[in-house]
């Protein structure tokens, strides 16, 4: 089974801090994703990555950056944390199948990091 | 463009009765469609997926879904609900073309199972 591990289940930080959320997957997946989940707003894509050192903006990238130096690790960075970034953050990974049409591989999710910014 | 609408934000059933969670989608291309389940304080777990093979898709834990192109629907069903099915369920459409690699999530349906 694919395992996606997020480094922290719960995290409390202060406004203005630089915050790192780490995600590691163990199945050699090419694609990795960061989402945030908020009541009434569902899951929203922040950033995704198709390969090492590659990144693409999602729907709500403002205030965030990402790093993918190794295939198995995808980090989300809050450059200067603000209270409106208090949320549940979910990391996911998926396989990229050569010759297959994009999008037909399911994503595998970590258990999430509940981040509070005070 | 692609979108997905889960028609019910909350569904309540009694244990042992059928479950129906409704999902309509919109996609410029033949879509890939998924249902995920999320238990409290956990990540999303794949229940089943449709990727242009059989229109009736069977998943884990007795769930299944039927892809109906004419109705642009992908409703999730289960013949008999169990208490452990209580969770939030997400319908997801995943795209091609300009939406390649991106998934659009529905807003979720919270399923309550009464004893």
CB distance B41–A102 less than 8 Å? no
Judging contacts by C-beta atoms under 8 Å, the chain A residues touching residue B108 are: 42
Give the pLDDT band (50/70/90) at residue B96. Answer: low
Residue of B nearest to A40 (CA): B107
CA distances in angstroms from B25 to A101, B11, B75, listed in the order given: 19, 19, 10
Contact status of A111 with chain B (Cβ, < 8 Å): yes
Task: Give the range among A1-5, A21-25, A69-73, B107-111 with minimum mean pLDDT.
Answer: A1-5
Contact status of B108 with chain A (Cβ, < 8 Å): yes
Location of structure tokens 């919270």: B110
Instruction: Give the C-alpha separation, A48 to B110, whole Å.
Output: 27
Structure tokens at A80: 């200067």
3-class secondary structure, A28: coil
Give the pLDDT band (50/70/90) at residue B100. Answer: low
Give the pLDDT band (50/70/90) at residue A66. Answer: very high
Instruction: Give the C-alpha separation, B106 to B34, whole Å.
Output: 10
CB distance B95–A102 less than 8 Å? yes
Contact status of B105 with chain A (Cβ, < 8 Å): yes
As a whole-number percent, the residues of chain A with pLDDT over 70 amount to: 92
Location of structure tokens 């979108």: B3
Provide the mean pLDDT of chain A.
91
3-class secondary structure, A98: coil
pLDDT at position B21: 98
CB distance A42–B107 less than 8 Å? yes
Instruction: Give the C-alpha separation, B107 to B5, whole Å.
Output: 7
CB distance A109–B99 less than 8 Å? no
CB distance B101–A48 less than 8 Å? yes
Location of structure tokens 């809050």: A78
Nearest to A94 by CA among B54, B85, B101, B23: B101
> What helix, strand, coil percent values describe chain B, rounded to 5?
10, 55, 35
**Average pLDDT rounded to a whole number, residues A6-13:** 94
Give the pLDDT band (50/70/90) at residue A51. Answer: confident
Structure tokens at A100: 């297959």
pLDDT digit string, tens, across residues B5-43: 999 999 999 999 999 999 999 987 778 899 999 998 889
Instruction: Give the C-alpha separation, A117 to B13, whole Å.
Output: 37
Structure tokens at A92: 């996911």
pLDDT digit string, tens, across residues A19-37: 999 999 998 888 899 999 9
CB distance A42–B96 less than 8 Å? no
8 Å CB contact between B113 and B82 = yes
Contact status of A10 with chain B (Cβ, < 8 Å): no
């Amino acid at each position: 089974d694919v395992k996606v591990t997020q480094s922290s289940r719960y995290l409390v930080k202060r406004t203005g801090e630089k915050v790192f959320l780490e995600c590691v997957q163990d199945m050699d997946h090419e694609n990795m994703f960061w989402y945030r989940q908020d009541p009434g707003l569902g899951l929203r894509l922040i950033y995704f990555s198709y390969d090492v050192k590659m990144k693409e903006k999602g729907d709500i990238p403002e205030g965030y950056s990402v790093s993918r130096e190794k295939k198995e690790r995808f980090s989300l960075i809050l450059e200067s944390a603000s209270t409106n970034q208090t949320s549940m953050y979910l990391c996911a990974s998926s396989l990229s199948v050569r010759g297959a049409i994009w999008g037909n591989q399911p994503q595998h999710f970590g258990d999430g990091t509940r981040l509070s910014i005070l | 463009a692609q979108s997905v609408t889960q028609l019910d934000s909350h569904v309540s059933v009694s244990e042992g009765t059928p479950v129906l969670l409704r999902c309509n989608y919109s996609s410029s291309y033949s879509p890939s469609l998924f249902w995920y389940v999320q238990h409290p304080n956990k990540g999303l777990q794949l229940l089943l997926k449709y990727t242009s093979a059989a229109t009736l898709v069977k998943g884990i834990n007795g769930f299944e879904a039927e892809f109906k192109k004419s109705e642009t629907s992908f409703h999730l069903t289960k013949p008999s609900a169990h208490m452990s099915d209580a969770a939030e369920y997400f319908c997801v459409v995943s795209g091609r073309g300009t939406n390649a690699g991106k998934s659009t999530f529905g807003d979720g349906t919270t399923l309550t199972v009464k004893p």
